[in-house]
Amino acid sequence: MARVGLHNIGTLSDILPLMMNHATSISAGFLLLALMACGAPGQDGATAEGPGTADSTGSLTFHPLNPPSGPGALAPRFSTSQDEVFLTWLQPLAGAGETMALLFSRLEAGSGSDRWSEPTEIARGQDFFANWADNPGLRRGADGSLTAHWLARSGPDPYAYDIRLARSSDSGRTWEPAGTLHHDGVTSEHGFVSTISDLAGVRAFWLDGREMTMESHDSHAGSGNMTLRTAVVGQQAGSDELLDERVCECCQTAAGMTATGPVVVYRDRSADETRDIWIVRQTESGWSEPRPVHADGWRVPGCPVNGPSLAVRPGHEEELAVAWFTAAETRPRVQVAFSRNGGAGFDAPILLDDVSPLGRVDVVWDGKGGVVVLWLSPRGEEGAAELLLRRVAPDGTAGAVYHVIDTSTARSSGFPRLVRRGENLILVWTQPEGESTRLQAVSLSLSSLPGWAASPESAQLSGGVAAATADGGRGEDGRPWDGASGSRAPEYGALTFEGDPVRLADLRGRPLLINFWATWCMPCRQETPALIGIHDRYGPHGLQVVGVSVDTAGDREKVRDFLAREGVSYQTLLDPEDRAAQTFGLPMLPGSYLFNRDGILVWSRLGVVTPDDAELRAALDSLRLPGPSTL
């Protein structure tokens, strides 16, 4: 698969730190320096240069368009209304303790280029629930009003939070509280909102944990499912409707308005823990029964935190594009599928990347009947990642893969977002900087993408688009670690709470069960008693159980408090940059790996470890530990 990168000026991550927050403030001297470095006088951007593959041609023209955000900003999200583009984000307020603010800015036409308006505050508080994957947002309703949503804690449990609303009737100049999106009154998880403009106001879709008692969150007892619900918001939220009674607990939803009515796509959760992308549509007779966009068959007892993206084609509202990540058959990949009947049916998915991508996808229509998909993929050294971009033409042909920027696999890098404005794409992402973050954005001329300019604006999707094939793969020849049983443990290290490094190689000599988790991951919290039990039963007989938290550095005390509250007796290490995601090819949490005393993998599990896990029991028995033979 061709990945087309920037020329010898380096990556955008080398350039953007030199830029000020406002694109209009970039000096002529800097632009001249950039052009000289490009070696292409008279060209605004950089010539694409690939690894020597046949389709590594074309050029990409990037323009800096950084939003007016401050240090620590996170959770960016676009919203559009006709020609308007809004950007919302969360901003820690300097000198205000733990106070967080929800801000927005509007993209305005400037002299020769677009620029962001000065930021406007929607709401602030010390009860905000700031999450790397669950972004706030706003939407303009059919009556012209703006409705914003964000998460706020609802009780003493750190994972109980509500969806708060605010409304503006003067195009965002002033905002008034509008209550909560849901009226259940249950202290539980609510979030992952997607919104669309609706004739009655703004329609919202969200994941609702009212059926999940807090007992099942902390003491790991009880039962209950995460549900998918919808409601229309006018002056306040109306009564909600249940759309799916069992869905994945922590994956984003995505919604759109088609020619036949609203649709929402999300990650489902079946009785056998299959977690594929499903769709629900509103029809003349009401809400449809949930059905899969495509039956990937990804069976995994845990949440990947990797939801789908959906785009409705402007002017052709019967056409949909849905992009998503899956790791079915232990093959991580990014793919996109098209519908020409408002989501009632989809063509076979087109494979965009199967070289161990991380996902975190977004998709937009390109104005010529094709789509552009954005996603995150590991790259190079441990912990490094890159944003990748690929166009799919109306006939289903996938073009070259373009490298946009170097970033990090850390969860603090969040979910990159993509929007089209006229003949330009705008990309925004969260760039980790030590223990902090900042927002970065660029615009890209669609004419830089080969084939775009030649496509007629009225191009139609070809029927029966067949599944495409991406070049490359994991590759097993000569690699000591391929994620399969029998492979040798990779080079990997984490930190103690005191900051001392611990390498996997240091733990050889005794069998090792290593578990990757995070405090924000509910399945991770639920499996903790099982891991404690395994450690208590097998630890005295030679088994090492080691937990590795991938929480960010700022959540270290939260990790410590959780371990103390749960009575965790095994060693816990810290990986705040989440290097495990790339090193182990870990697409989700929790993830567990069992190595023998020589560091050879004998068993692995993506998802929850249970006390009566027969496969794990057999793997432990194969180690011939001198202890008991049952979990």
The CATH number linked to 93 is 2.120.10.10
Domain that holds residue 201: 77-246
Q: For residue 419, what are the contacts with CB-CB under 8 A and spacing of at least 6?
A: 78, 80, 85, 364, 425, 426
Nearest to 392 by CA among 321, 473, 341, 293: 321
Quick: pLDDT tens for 196-232: 998 889 999 999 999 986 554 443 333 589 999 999 9
User: What amino acid occupies position 44?
Assistant: D
Burial-class residue 144 by CB neighbours within 10 Å (0-12, 13-18, 19+): exposed
User: Is residue 447 in some structural domain?
Assistant: no
Q: Which of 185, 215, 246 is the last residue of a domain?
A: 246
Helices 522-538, 556-566: axis angle to 10 degrees equals 50
Write the DSSP symbol of residue 459.
-
Nearest to 488 by CA among 401, 385, 602, 327: 602
Residue 458: what pLDDT? 62
**For residue 631, pLDDT beyond 70:** no
Mean pLDDT, range 249-257, rounded to an integer: 96
Helices 614-622, 522-538: axis angle to 10 degrees equals 40
**For residue 55, pLDDT beyond 80:** no
Report which of residues 579 and 12 the model is more confident about. 579
Residue 544: what pLDDT? 95
Angle at CA 173, nearest 5°, toward 168 and 176?
35
User: Is residue 160 in some structural domain?
Assistant: yes
User: Is residue 606 in some structural domain?
Assistant: yes
**For residue 358, pLDDT beyond 80:** yes
Phi (first) and psi of residue 358, to 5 degrees: -90, -20
User: Is residue 370 in some structural domain?
Assistant: no
Contact 264, 254 (CB under 8 A): yes
User: Is residue 469 in some structural domain?
Assistant: no
CATH, residue 530 = 3.40.30.10
User: What amino acid occupies position 109?
Assistant: A
Of the chain, the end-to-end C-alpha distance in Å amounts to: 45
User: Is residue 52 in some structural domain?
Assistant: no
Residue 16: what pLDDT? 33
User: What amino acid occupies position 149?
Assistant: H
Query: Which of 55-69, 74-88, 236-250, 345-359 bottoms out in mean pLDDT, i.e. has the lowest?
Result: 55-69
Contact 378, 582 (CB under 8 A): yes
User: Is residue 331 in some structural domain?
Assistant: no
Kindly report the length of the chain.
631
Mean pLDDT, range 548-564, rounded to an integer: 91
Query: Which of 107-111, 186-190, 250-254 bottoms out in mean pLDDT, i.e. has the lowest?
Result: 107-111
**For residue 351, pLDDT beyond 90:** yes
**For residue 457, pLDDT beyond 80:** no
Cis peptide leading into 394, omega within 30 of 0? no
Residue 185: what pLDDT? 93
Collapsed DSSP state (helix, strand, coil) of residue 374 = strand
**For residue 431, pLDDT beyond 60:** yes
Residue linked to tokens 């988790």: 517
- How do strand 227-233 and strand 201-208 relate by DSSP bridges? antiparallel
- The whole-model pTM stands at 0.78
- Give just the sign of the alpha carbon dihedral 553, 555, 561, 563: negative
Contact 377, 356 (CB under 8 A): yes
Burial-class residue 325 by CB neighbours within 10 Å (0-12, 13-18, 19+): buried
Q: Which of 215, 246, 277 is the last residue of a domain?
A: 246
Nearest to 428 by CA among 246, 355, 436, 438: 438
Which letter, b or e, does each residue of 403-429 get, where b requires 16 or more Cβ atoms within 10 Å of its Cβ? Answer: bbbbbbbbbbbbbbbbbbbeebbbbbb
The domain total for the chain is 2
**For residue 44, pLDDT beyond 50:** no
Residue 465: what pLDDT? 35
* Residue 390 bridge partners (DSSP): 373, 401
- Give just the sign of the alpha carbon dihedral 157, 163, 169, 171: positive
**For residue 324, pLDDT beyond 50:** yes
Report the alpha-carbon distance of residue 46 to residue 58 in Å, rounded.
Answer: 10
Residue 626: what pLDDT? 67
**For residue 10, pLDDT beyond 70:** no
Report the alpha-carbon distance of residue 497 to residue 556 in Å, rounded.
Answer: 8
Where are the alpha helices (H) located in 103-252, listed in sequence order? 214-218
User: Is residue 220 in some structural domain?
Assistant: yes
Write the DSSP symbol of residue 354.
-
Q: For residue 408, what are the contacts with CB-CB under 8 A and spacing of at least 6?
A: 383, 384, 385, 431, 432, 577, 578
Angle at CA 97, nearest 5°, toward 94 and 99?
80
DSSP string, 589-610: S-EEEEE-TTSBEEEEEES---
Quick: pLDDT tens for 141-192: 988 999 999 999 998 888 899 999 999 999 999 999 999 999 999 999 999 9
Residue 583: what pLDDT? 87
Helix (H) / strand (E) element for 353: namely strand 350-353
Q: Which of 214, 246, 278 is the last residue of a domain?
A: 246
Report which of residues 361 and 214 the model is more confident about. 361
pLDDT band at 455 (very low <50, low <70, confident <90, very high): confident
Report which of residues 607 and 320 the model is more confident about. 320
Phi (first) and psi of residue 582, to 5 degrees: -85, -45
**For residue 470, pLDDT beyond 90:** no
Contact 574, 497 (CB under 8 A): yes
Mean pLDDT, range 509-532, rounded to an integer: 92
